[in-house]
Structure 1
Amino acid sequence: MKQPYSPRSWSLRKKPIASPELLVGTAILAVLFNLIQGAKAQAYPDYSSIRYQLLDSYGGPSFFDQFNYFSGDDPTDGYVTYVNRGTAQSLNLTSATDTTATLRVDASTPNPSGGRNSVRVESKNTYNSGLFIFDIIHTPYGCGTWPALWLTDGPNWPNNGEIDILESHNHGSHGNEMSLHTTGGCSMDGGERRQSGTSLEGNCDIGSDGNAGCGVTGDLGTYGVGFNGGGGGVYALELRDAGIRIWNFPRASIPSDINDGSSPDPSSWGIPLADFPSTNCDIGSHFRNLNIVANIDLCGELAGTSTHYTQMYNCPGSCTDFVANNPSQFEDAYWEFGGIRVYQAS
């Protein structure tokens, strides 16, 4: 019985027998197939509307009851001592009222031994996806500071990923930097991105570019004095299989569906500040079991380097000497939150 016509089954010995017209036609079909497959691979993800319902609310006097205080050695070699909850409360480094929650650097103790006291808190609850709304009244800044608000699974880093929602250093006047840090196989190169921020490195792999991650920067009003001066605002993070998006809304421009807290709809908010689509990154496999983390590091592998401490911001002397000898310079080194809400898809 004659076998069906199938170029895939041809032996090398039989291929020269095929006619030139047939070979040309086959080549054209192959090119078209590859173009179609390439277009599919590069297609922008579907960010269509998801209905969200409230899952967790962090606010009021019980704000810090929902967090653990990290008090181990700083993994990034900062000149900092992260204190436990009892010490933080006795030194007034964390406090909460009906409307605000504050995390501070010690701005009174001169010449601390081994690093200035500060705080790093990590949510007790973990998340694989969701919509995170951060009402932020004040962001920390000042020479020697390295603050961040982020999501990660610390004990399993980097396997479960890291999402930096707000991160800056020293005076913080270069704007907010949002970034992803992952294991291999996650990249923002080669696909469409719809965002108002400026893209930096494209490879999210921690083994690339000295763990720079894949970052996006905002303008000067997205962090520090520029952000604080308008009464702060809201940062919103959407984490879903289609991708990761981050919005920044100044206090006077917060969408009504965020203010009323009922069922916020990111599809109605317009272009985000940062867009990390799933085009070349399987979001679900790279980001899971994530805690909300807020901290204020000092010096360390970023803020204390000469490139950032001296050259970018012209901060005085060495970073560790400045941090040790100038406690009053850390009066603006504090986070102040109006609250945090986490929504899940209903």
Structure 2
Amino acid sequence: MRAAATTAILATLLFASTSEAGRNFTLRDDISGNGFFDAFTWWDSADPTHGFVDYVSKSDAQKAQLSYVDSTTGRFVMRADDSTVLSAGSSTGRKSVRIHSKKLMGDGVLIAKVSRMPVGCATWPALWTSTRGTWPTGGEIDIVEGANDQGPTNLASLHTSNGCSIAGGSGYGNLTTVDAATRNTTSLTTATLRLDSGTTESTYCGYQPGCSVRFSGQKSFGSEFNDNNGGFFVMTRDTIAGGSGISVYFWPSTTAPPSLLTSSPAAPYLLLPDLNTSSSALTTSSEGQDWGVPAAHFPNNATTCEMDKLYGQHEIIINLSLCGDWAGATFDSVSACQLTGSSCEAYVARNPSAFTNARWEIDYLHVYTDSALRSALRSHQGTLVTALVVCVSALLVFF
């Protein structure tokens, strides 16, 4: 009986420690307007994705108004040059911008309020996080990405080293909601709620092209996104051993996202899938901030994708490439781009006015993290277990 009691107490304490770690997010960064110039560095080296772009330094971007804060809206703007005709056979490409966060992000929540994204043939915009190490060791998470203005739906992707895959199909999972305060559960059928609402386009996450989920929600990418005045992209990352995985949410600006996304920054309460149960589960707080089903979910699973061994600390990266490995490779297959009667690079070189709308307008980024607590739990898990065993044993001896 004492052994059973010891096991029960240990399980309870360990569950409380790890489950609370999964939800204990606190605001670390509130980045808007001129704050982008302090929080990011400007990449001015060659494009790793072989785009026909000339990424410029921060000072050059500011001088050429390729990076600035709109005086009317207060939004941070980064864009491609739209005035220079490049000489025939130019090897440098059109001037553009790529920025990397100075701080790294581990597990936590990234909220991006975006009002406009770059559009047009040859464009390849992306908002993503990635390792600073040798890619793809340490992983990559593509939150917003697409090429040649191919909306209206966004594609979210993962890239890892070998050993990670996701399920195919359109949405999956039987779900149970669990109140974080009371632990009361309510079963929901698959027809009522799914683990994500998107459609898997690629199931293997290793290297290229990675695993990806196409959003079901319209107006989440391209011209349709801009015409709808943008929206909210949210990435939640829970890659510690036993964590839920990685999810991407999207709300158009015309809908009502959870209030914590639009009010002053505060710790978000959200649904976190828990894949350690017999069926998939979602955990939400008693405050009622129900985020609903993510647009894309990539499960953390000890069998199919052990994320704590595949994901490290990440930079947040926002960029606009032109042509390159994706937009260049698919340029001729897009009907609107075919009508240009040109190759991708020739089109970029000769038509600066085509890139007037090739710009990001970002209202803010909010970064929430619980990495310090998670690191402590990961580093001292053995110590914690030993200490708990000693304490419980002492209690049992006392009684």
Superposition TM-score tier, normalisation by shorter sequence? 0.7 to 0.9
Distance across 2 between alignment mates of 1:57 and 1:202:
34
Identity of aligned residues (%): 36
Deviations 1:119-161 (A, max 9, x none): 0000000011110000101011101111111000244311010
Structure 1 contact 146–169 (Cα < 8 Å) conserved: yes
**Partner in structure 2 of residue 20 of structure 1:** none
Gaps of at least 5 residues in structure 1 are 1-45
Relative to structure 1, is the Cα distance of residues 313 and 58 closer, same or farther in structure 2, using a 3 angstrom cutoff? farther
Deviations 1:221-240 (A, max 9, x none): 11112111221111000001
Counterparts of 1:9-158 in structure 2, within 5 Å, are 50-97=23-70, 99-111=74-86, 113=90, 114-158=92-136
**Partner in structure 1 of residue 230 of structure 2:** 232
Distance across 2 between alignment mates of 1:76 and 1:63:
24
Aligned pair 1:318/2:343, yes or no?
yes
Structure 1 contact 170–313 (Cα < 8 Å) conserved: no
Structure 1 contact 127–290 (Cα < 8 Å) conserved: yes
Structure 1 contact 171–313 (Cα < 8 Å) conserved: no
Shift of 1:62: 2.5
How many residue pairs match? The answer is: 295
What residue identity is the alignment partner of 2:311?
A: F
State which of 125, 146, 160 in structure 2 corresponds to 1:182. 160
What residue identity is the alignment partner of 2:127?
A: L
Shift of 1:77: 1.2
Aligned pair 1:291/2:295, yes or no?
no
State which of 197, 209, 213 in structure 2 corresponds to 1:216. 213
Aligned pair 1:164/2:142, yes or no?
yes
Distance across 2 between alignment mates of 1:166 and 1:131:
15
Structure 1 contact 121–293 (Cα < 8 Å) conserved: yes
Secondary structure (helix, strand or coil) at the match of 2:150 reads coil
Shift of 1:97: 4.9
Distance across 1 between alignment mates of 2:20 and 2:144:
23
Structure 1 contact 159–182 (Cα < 8 Å) conserved: yes
Aligned pair 1:262/2:261, yes or no?
no
Shift of 1:176: 1.0
Distance across 1 between alignment mates of 2:258 and 2:151:
26
Structure 1 contact 185–281 (Cα < 8 Å) conserved: yes
**Partner in structure 1 of residue 360 of structure 2:** 335
Distance across 2 between alignment mates of 1:50 and 1:289:
19
Distance across 1 between alignment mates of 2:20 and 2:149:
35
Structure 2 contact 106–369 (Cα < 8 Å) conserved: no
Structure 1 window deviating more from structure 2 (154-163 vs 121-130): it is 154-163
**Partner in structure 2 of residue 202 of structure 1:** 203
Relative to structure 1, is the Cα distance of residues 47 and 230 closer, same or farther in structure 2, using a 3 angstrom cutoff? farther
**Partner in structure 2 of residue 5 of structure 1:** none
What residue identity is the alignment partner of 2:245?
A: G
What residue identity is the alignment partner of 2:214?
A: T
Q: Which runs of 4+ in 1 moved over 3 A?
A: 46-49, 189-193
Distance across 1 between alignment mates of 2:54 and 2:117:
20
Deviations 1:205-249 (A, max 9, x none): 11xxxx110001124411112111221111000001320001001
Distance across 2 between alignment mates of 1:233 and 1:47:
30
Structure 1 contact 196–273 (Cα < 8 Å) conserved: yes
Secondary structure (helix, strand or coil) at the match of 1:269 reads coil
Shift of 1:47: 11
Relative to structure 1, is the Cα distance of residues 155 and 109 closer, same or farther in structure 2, using a 3 angstrom cutoff? farther
Structure 1 window deviating more from structure 2 (101-110 vs 218-227): it is 218-227
Structure 2 contact 105–369 (Cα < 8 Å) conserved: no
**Partner in structure 2 of residue 11 of structure 1:** none
**Partner in structure 2 of residue 282 of structure 1:** 306
Distance across 2 between alignment mates of 1:301 and 1:69:
21
Q: What RMSD in Å do the two structures reach over aligned CA positions?
A: 2.0
